[in-house]
Amino acid sequence: MEIKVRVDGVDHKAHAQLIKGTLWVHHNGRVFTMDASTGRKSRKKAGAGGSSDQVVAPMPGKVTKLLVSAGASVEAGQAVLVMEAMKMEYTLKADIAGTIDSISCAVGEQVALGKALIKIKPVSDK
């Protein structure tokens, strides 16, 4: 569904999807979630990235590009994967610097919300 959101007093159109009681709002490359039953914001993810040492799917969608391979070094904030969801393209980024430990998806694969797509071995664990 398409909704209207107000950012700094300016109205914008955004895409939203209700999945298992959580409202996912996608706006300008960012993903925001809200517990639909309480109306409280539960998470905020810049760049639709994952958390800690894993890059997880922030929504159901299709993997369109893998930008890294197993064993590659990555920096925090580096783009690692592109996926398409709700007719929009999202670039997922690494939260930490390290080495790609494993990739659990393939180009063209439909992935579920919350699926761990890439695991990163932190620099400190080398």
Each residue's pLDDT tens digit, 55-96 = 988 888 999 999 999 999 999 989 999 999 877 888 999 989
Q: Is the pLDDT of residue 123 over 60?
A: yes
Rounded CA separation 92/103 (Å): 13
Rounded CA separation 104/41 (Å): 29
For CA atoms 86, 90, 95, 101, the dihedral sign is: positive
Domains identified in the chain, total number? 1
Confidence of residue 48 (pLDDT cuts 50, 70, 90): very low
Neighbour tally for 71: CB within 10 Å: 10
Rounded CA separation 33/44 (Å): 6
Please state the pTM of the whole predicted model: 0.64
Sheet holding 88-93, edge to edge: 88-93, 79-85, 61-66, 110-111
Q: What is the domain range of residue 24?
A: 2-122
Q: Is the pLDDT of residue 42 over 90?
A: no
Look at residue 46 in the predicted model and tell me its pLDDT: 40
CATH number where 15 lies: 2.40.50.100
- Work out the mean pLDDT of the chain and round it to a whole number: 83
